[in-house]
Amino acid sequence: MWLKTFWVYLVLFLLAGCTSGRKTATLDDLYTREVRFPDGAIYRAEVATKPYDMTRGLMFRESLAADRGMLFIYGSVGEGYKVWTYNNRFPVDAIWLDQNRLITEIVPAIAPCKSESANGCPFFGGSTRSLYVLELNAGVAAKHNLKPGDRLSF
pLDDT band, very low/low/confident/very high, at 29 (cuts 50, 70, 90)? low
pLDDT band, very low/low/confident/very high, at 12 (cuts 50, 70, 90)? very low
- The whole-angstrom separation of Cα 124 and Cα 82 is 6
- For the whole model, what pTM was predicted? 0.82
Could you tell me if 58 and 70 are in contact, meaning their C-beta atoms sit under 8 angstroms apart?
Answer: yes
Amino acid at 133: V
Report the candidate in 82, 58, 80, 83 with the shortest Cα–Cα distance to residue 69: 58
What's the pLDDT at 17?
Answer: 52
- Alpha helices, H only, 24-145: 27-31, 51-56, 140-143
Mean pLDDT for 104-129 is: 96
* Residue range 79-109, pLDDT digits in tens: 999 999 999 999 999 999 999 999 999 999 9
Amino acid at 44: R
Q: Does the pLDDT at position 26 exceed 80? A: no
* Residue range 131-142, pLDDT digits in tens: 999 999 999 999
Mean pLDDT for 107-116 is: 96
Average pLDDT, the chain: 89
